[in-house]
Amino acid sequence: LMELQGSGVCVWDFVIMFLFSFVFVWEYLKQYYDLQIEPMGRMKRSGPSFTSKVKDMQIFFGLNATGVLDSDTLEVMSSPRCGVPDVEEYSHIQGTRWNKNVITYRYLIGRYTRDLPRNTVDSLVESAFSIWARASSLTFVRSHTRSADIMVEFVTKHGDLYPFDGPRGTLAHAFGPGLGVGGDTHFDDDEHWTAGETGFNLFVVAAHEFGHALGLKHSRNPASLMYPTYRSPRANLISSEDVANINALYSKFLCSNPWLSGSLFPQLMQNKCDPDMTFDAVSTLGDATFFFREKYVDDFSQYDIKEGPITNFMPKIETSIDAAFWVPRRSTAYLIHGNCLLYFSLTRSVVKGKPRALSHFGFPAWVQDVDAAVHIVKTRRTLFFMHDIYWSYNENRRVMDFGYPKYISEDFPGINTTINATVYKAGFIYFFVGPQVYKYDYTRKHVVGVEKANSWLGC
């Protein structure tokens, strides 16, 4: 201080800067390295020393572990980063992984950032989830109901006991799998979120945070997506380490499925590009489309195709599926096997309640199975097809429409044979008939195209 007085530097400015830096470092070590501090601001005597915590931080980031706050250490500490601790997760509210592989997410109403258009945010978040979908056996579906596994929101002050700190500093944080706030992902709305190189790229940060929401911890590898500090967008965002870690975490779903590799890969899966490929049932499920074949299913999304036993995607369902349809406003898939009806909840990825008989829909007693079913979102009707006839079920009133069954060939010109499966997309009904698919314009009432069924699997 005596030397500073003679140099013309304001001593008090230096003292204030020093104290500010020390408090910042103290808070950093407290948040990310579990530095224990008593209410009066003293470190706990029984806990690790301040210096040892500095060393822990330096070791984590591959710095020279001296315990001294040198320029390299301070530079890393001042870098924008994730709010999840490096040495201890939010363990008191976390599980280790989701015990399923169809995981839902949704946005809290009014909690979008104002930095980007909503459709851009939706696209970037979906792309961030796709990073992990491509690397694993997981499927991510956006939910529009009240509940979801992962809740996404942009906030400033919020009540989860882990406050944000304004621009830069902590960018976002996420809780690991579990009930309550488990999986929830928060982005600091004081940051400048972008889709490019300037500000903070939402896709990059979201992909990192969703790794935490799936149960991954921070990595010491600078090439890893799970490295704590922010990195600008790059070509290979996810590393081989990230891929290995996510698959090790969810190995329960992989190890139990002999279809993944080698000679145990079922013949049914190997021949998915057979020109005579047929499906038992097809249904959308959120943003994905599921193709059922015997006891196996293909899950097709915008970014990837996954395949395996039905139980891998829908626990407790061990039978083949004859017909399936999806009612978006209920977030429920209806699966039919013979005379048995099952309800699959998208929000919980579980079978709901006990199986029911087809008579639940009001079918006459002689109907013991159906060939295909499809829900038309626009009319809120579900159509059931059986041989050469079909029924129309009113989902609002939950009764069969009057005057049914009717002949398929009369109401759907060009469809003159038994239907294997149906699915409704963007105003068209797709009829799967043997190895072919008929694209049917539901408004104009005629077939507008024919293609191979296996083309839907990328063949």
Q: Note the pLDDT tens digit of each residue in 278-327.
A: 899 999 887 778 888 887 776 665 445 566 677 666 666 767 889 999 99
Which residue in 89, 126, 153, 209 is the catalytic one? 209
Whole-angstrom distance between the N-terminal and C-terminal Cα of the chain? 75
Domains detected in the chain: 2-78 (1.10.101), 91-253 (3.40.390.10), 264-457 (2.110.10.10)
Is residue 307 annotated as a catalytic residue, yes or no? no
User: Is residue 172 a contact partner of residue 83, using CB atoms and an 8 Å limit?
Assistant: yes
Q: Which residues are annotated as a binding site for Ca(2+)?
A: 115, 149, 165-166, 182, 184, 188-189, 191, 280, 322, 324, 373
User: pLDDT value at position 263?
Assistant: 31
Q: State mean pLDDT over 138-157.
A: 86
- Binding site members: 82, 115, 149, 158, 160, 165-166, 173, 182, 184, 186, 188-189, 191, 208, 212, 218, 226, 280, 322, 324, 373
pLDDT digits (tens, 9 = 90+) for 175-227: 999 888 889 999 999 999 999 889 999 999 999 999 999 999 999 999 999 99
SS3 category, 325: strand
| Torsion from C-alpha of 305, 449, 333, 387, nearest 10 degrees | -120
pLDDT at 266: 39
- What are the Cα distances from residue 250, in Å, to 76, 97, 245, 256, 346? 32, 7, 9, 11, 19
pLDDT in tens, 19-78: 456 678 888 998 888 887 655 555 554 445 788 899 999 999 999 999 988 889 999 999
**According to the model, what pLDDT value does residue 443 have?**
86
Q: What is the pLDDT of residues 366-390, one digit of tens each?
A: 888 899 999 998 899 999 999 889 9
- In this predicted structure, what is the pLDDT of residue 158? 75
What is the C-alpha to C-alpha distance for residues 459 and 453, in angstroms, rounded to an integer? 9
pLDDT recorded at residue 208: 97
pTM: 0.58
- Give the up-direction half-sphere exposure of residue 68: CA atoms within 13 A in the CB hemisphere: 5
